[in-house]
Homo-oligomer: A and B are copies of this chain.
Amino acid sequence: MPELRKDPVSDRWVIIATDRARRPSDFIRETVPAEPSGRFCPFCPGNESKTPPEVLAYRSGSQPNQPGWSLRVVPNKFPVLGIEGDLDREGEGMFDKMQGIGAHEVVIEAPEHILSMAALSERSIEQVLCAFRDRTNDLKNDRRLKYVLIFKNHGEGAGATLEHSHSQLIALPVVPKRVQEELEVAGRYYDFKERCLFCDLLRQELKAGTRIVTETDQFIVVEPYAPRFPFETWILPRRHGSHFENADGPQLSNLAWTLKSTLRKLEKVLERPPYNIVIHTAPLQEAASAYYHWHIEIIPKLTRVAGFEWGTGFYINPTPPEESAQFLRDAGLG
């Protein structure tokens, strides 16, 4: 019998279609290549002139926009939003519009032409996380910007166009509706219980155990109760905090290990699937809050979103999270 489950974070129902239950090998999907294509790479050292000038780099001694870096952040060459100008909010009859003000940056995660974040050293991943934090803190100074989305598209099937491992930041002049909804749900829960929704979730998942993939002293990795997609995976910090950019050194260092281990498990069990990583964090200009709790979502691209999902926002997921958690635990790799 299929089961309807409600995700407490988004207040969205999903159908766990157990009658269609699928093992990892049953998904029709693309595999992200393990070997480089050999095409020219604008992200490799020596090709710095092929990207816009860097806004941040970790390097020892060398000159800006020259080789010798271990990580670079550059504006996207084809940005979806521009940093110059005014918002100019205005109406157009009954419609509303504004100028596309914002920032769109690319984090080139390491100088090596490595295709997967899972294959980077822990040290490199830690630098990537530090760069996310540093860039977010810098963008926060621009009061026009209300939200920074930090994300990664891995593999063509997940929207990546370049293979050299990289992530992106998009800073927006409005708090997106989905984020606003998640904040509202968490706010209502706090009003009702006087506890953080995510802290409660964490305690319950640890107690149940069936959906836990990994625990460290700082994080838990869990398959959520009502996942939209097979093998959707969340990384939740044990310590309450609303803003990712306020994470401290020991947390980021532990997160680097946790993220690498989780990606390696997913790559092993699902044979290098395309995936998206998204950091869920509180709005840029808001003070630290007791009710929101930053976390990371990883979504492997294994199924197609079709008419039903577009029409309802209701997802059909053929894999119960208790089963995907078991597969990931069995994969080993820490």
Residues of A participating in the B interface, judged by any CB pair closer than 8 Å: 1-6, 8, 10-13, 15-17, 19-20, 78-82, 85, 92-100, 147, 149, 151-153, 157-160, 168, 170, 172-174, 176-179, 200-201, 204, 207-208, 225-226, 276-280, 297, 299, 304-308, 310-314, 316
Contacts and interface: CB of A to CB of B under 8 A. Distances in A.
Contacts of A297: 310-311
Contact of A95 (B2, B5, B80, B277): B5
Interface of A is mostly: mixed
A101 to B, nearest CB: 8
A99 B4 contact: yes
A312 B5 contact: no
A177 B97 contact: no
Nearest to A16: B100
B276 A168 contact: no
25 contacts: A1-B85, A2-B100, A3-B97, A4-B97, A4-B99, A5-B96, A8-B95, A10-B177, A15-B80, A20-B78, A93-B204, A94-B204, A149-B311, A151-B310, A157-B304, A159-B305, A170-B308, A172-B312, A172-B314, A176-B313, A178-B312, A277-B307, A278-B307, A278-B310, A299-B310
A54 to B, nearest CB: 21
B100 A200 contact: no
A276 B2 contact: no
Contact of A15 (B16, B17, B81): B81
Nearest to A176: B312
A270 to B, nearest CB: 17
Contact of A3 (B8, B79, B99, B152): B99
